[in-house]
A and B are shown apart, each in its own frame.
Chain A
Amino acid sequence: MMNTALRPTALRLVGAGLLVAAGLQAVPAQAWSLSLAAASRRVFLHVGNGTANGDNGTINLVTATLTGAQLLSGTPQAMTSNSTQSGSLYGDGYTTCPTPSTQVIVGASYRRSNAANGPASATLRVTSPASLTNAAGDTIPFNQISWTVSAPGSGAPNVIPAGTFNGATQTLATIPANTYIENCHTFSYANSAVRAAGTYNGRVTYTLTSP
């Protein structure tokens, strides 16, 4: 009888000990925790004067003022710019466009926090109307204006390539996620035909999209 009475007692004690040990392992200690959301997907674009990580409503003007002789020469004419933006907005303030009076800096970035946060790249485009027009309704085809690119000190000065406006929407560059690109655009007027006197205006619009 003694033996049979003690066995269950001993088993119960061992069982209770194992339960305590299991409890110590299974219940985690409290800790401070934080629910953290990733930064929102973002595109950033500046053309000419811009503000790092902010809005800037400036619309810069690129101009060519031709004398009669220049008009008749048929020689392409360099255009000037009222942009004053010489420094990069790429965090280091590098002087990407040392002569902004003849250059327009174009910079763009696309950022996403994870692969499910948006497409792998964004697209930089420029849209131009068919023509520049003057007050009398005369026109100059927008394809009379083209641009070259530069980026002193950069290993990829053509990251946004040179081109000619086509009076429609053109794709300029594809920007991989979490990449910033920029260079300087210098515009010229082809001057391939004699035009009626007047001031011709037209606006091109650059867009950066990540659908």
Chain B
Amino acid sequence: MKPLRLPNTLVLLAGLCAGAALAGTHRLEDPLSHTVPPTAQMEWLPQTPGDRDGGMETWVRVNVQIDTRDWVGRSGRIYMVLPRDQASSIEAVWTANGPLRSGRLVSGERALVWAGTIAGDSLRDQIQVRLRSGPDWQSASRRLNFHFELDTD
């Protein structure tokens, strides 16, 4: 009985330690990322015959700092993710100034922002983000929780 139990334990721990090395999707830490301003107020867009309810829009600047220390030397693709928070969708369109790619996503989706081999401890950029939505929110305010995830090769 004794020889059987120890190998089982070691296999479990080895599996836990090897998880980071496996190809797959991994959520990245970015505790130093922040928006300017920290809160934002949507403004009405003009109503037009082609966009009858017009919708709402706001702009924010985001100082992005993604912690990549655990992934130096690994190649893969980093995506920005906006989980769906309610039925009313948010569209984010951003322009990057540094290593990240400009792009667009709608809540519930993710969009590629970087690809290659991770060379340093962090990825930093400042992105200008335009947020738009329809006038169909479920509440007067909401919190958008973006995050980044890495698909390793």
Contact = CB atoms under 8 A, between A and B. Distances in A.
Interface of A: 2-3, 6-7, 10, 13-14, 17, 20-21, 28-39, 42, 52-53, 90-92, 94, 109, 111-117, 177-180
Interface stretch (B57-65, B71-79, B97-105, B111-119): B57-65
Contacts of A3: 1-2
Given A14-B12, A35-B143, A179-B53, 20 more contacts: A30-B29, A31-B145, A31-B148, A32-B64, A33-B145, A34-B35, A34-B143, A34-B146, A35-B39, A36-B40, A36-B142, A37-B41, A39-B41, A53-B44, A91-B47, A111-B47, A113-B42, A114-B138, A115-B138, A178-B53
B21 interface: no
A109 B40 contact: no
B69 interface: no
A29 B29 CA distance: 5
27 contacts: A6-B5, A7-B5, A10-B5, A10-B6, A14-B8, A14-B9, A29-B30, A31-B148, A32-B62, A36-B41, A36-B42, A36-B58, A36-B144, A37-B41, A37-B42, A37-B140, A38-B141, A39-B42, A91-B46, A111-B135, A112-B135, A114-B137, A114-B138, A116-B140, A178-B47, A178-B54, A180-B47
How many B residues are at the interface, by size bracket?
Answer: 35 or more
B148 to A, nearest CB: 7
Contacts of A109: 47
A38 B42 contact: yes
Nearest 4 pairs between A and B by C-beta? A91-B48, A31-B147, A30-B31, A178-B53
Contacts of B41: 36-37, 39
Contact of A92 (B49, B54, B136): B49
A94 B49 CA distance: 10
A3 B86 CA distance: 56
A113 B140 contact: yes
Given A10-B6, A39-B44, A33 B135 contact: no
Contacts of B39: 34-37
Nearest to A109: B47
A136 B144 CA distance: 66
A6 B2 contact: yes
Interface in B6-47: 6, 8-9, 12-13, 16, 27-31, 33-35, 38-44, 46-47
Contacts of B143: 33-36
Contacts of A7: 5
B16 A17 contact: yes
Contacts of B43: 39
Contacts of B30: 29-32
A37 B148 CA distance: 23
B40 A34 contact: yes
Contacts of A14: 8-9, 12
B40 A31 contact: no
A34 B48 contact: no
B123 interface: no
A18 to B, nearest CB: 8
B106 interface: no
